[in-house]
Amino acid sequence: MAAKTLTIDGQMVSAEEQQTVLEAARDAGIRIPTLCHQEGVMAIGACRLCLVEVAGITKLLPACVTKVQEGMDVKTNTERLQKYRRMILELLFAERNHVCAVCVSNGNCELQSLAMEHGMDHVRYDYRCPKCGVDLTHRLFGADDNRCVLCGRCMRVCWYIEGAGTKNVSGRGVNSSIINDLHQPWGAAESCTSCGKCVLSCPTGALFYQGATVGEMTRDRSKLEFIVTAREKKQWIA
């Protein structure tokens, strides 16, 4: 496989031709913030936090779905990008009901960490305050739509790693929501295997273990990466 040479933030980087800008940057130790990206499943460029500037292209490009090209000159942390990322984070907070002080993932939330990283100490937009429900019908897990950022990670993990296909997206725009089977309560979804991979993948407090209280929801996503790697290398085939 041919190698591509590009520049990221002034650093010369070599990458395989099928790699994305995000993968090339991470291999080179250059951090690009993400929220919807999950190792081992298809990238969809939903959150737009990984937007980067590429010389010669006027629009911003999502690093997670943009393939590397020979001679690319990529900027990942300009003032323009910082402005857009903060705006995206503020809109995410305004869209649902994120109250960190009473969230099960307080202190262990990717959305919260990104907001702190980007100096977001207030939201400039009007809060929508939608009436979102909480689904506690599953015997092991719970789902709180108030804290969902529609990253799609739970859905993709359910489809591509577990292979159950329980979770999907219903609705359009700000009225979108994650559903189970044909809009069934989670506990009534016959396709759900209760594997918990969706809970492991969730970046916020939207999916949690039953009984978890404020600040207790931690996740070990290395388990998902281990499963994907083992399958790719056929380590479980006799």
- Provide, rounded to the nearest whole percent, the portion of the chain with pLDDT above 90: 88
| Per-residue confidence band for 59, with pLDDT thresholds at 50, 70 and 90 | very high
Element (H, E) at 6: strand 3-8
pLDDT at 112: 97
Displacement of CA 24 from its chain's centroid (Å): 18
What residue ranges of the chain are covered by domains with CATH 3.10.20.740? Answer: 3-77
Q: State the burial class of residue 8 (Cβ atoms within 10 Å of its Cβ: 0-12, 13-18, 19+).
A: buried
CA–CA gap between residue 164 and residue 186 (Å, rounded):
13
Is pLDDT above 90 for 33?
A: yes
- Looking at the predicted structure, is the pLDDT value of residue 92 above 70? yes
Whether residue 237 has pLDDT greater than 70: no
1 pLDDT band, cuts 50/70/90, is low
Which helix H or strand E contains 154, and what residues bound it? helix 153-157
User: What's residue 221's pLDDT?
Assistant: 84
- Give the pLDDT confidence of 176-212 residue by residue, as tens digits: 999 999 999 999 999 999 999 999 999 999 999 999 9
Across 75-101, average pLDDT = 96
Q: Compute the average pLDDT of residues 26-37.
A: 96
| Structure confidence at residue 159 (pLDDT) | 95
Tell me the CATH number of domain 3-77, given options 3.20.20.140, 3.10.20.740, 3.30.43.10, 3.40.50.2300.
Answer: 3.10.20.740
Overall average pLDDT of the 27-32 stretch: 96
Question: How many CB atoms are closer than 10 A to CB 108?
Answer: 17
What would be the CATH architecture of the domain defined by 83-219? 2-Layer Sandwich (3.30)
Average pLDDT score over residue span 129-158: 96
* Tokens of residue 220, six digits: 């070990």
pTM of the predicted protein model: 0.92
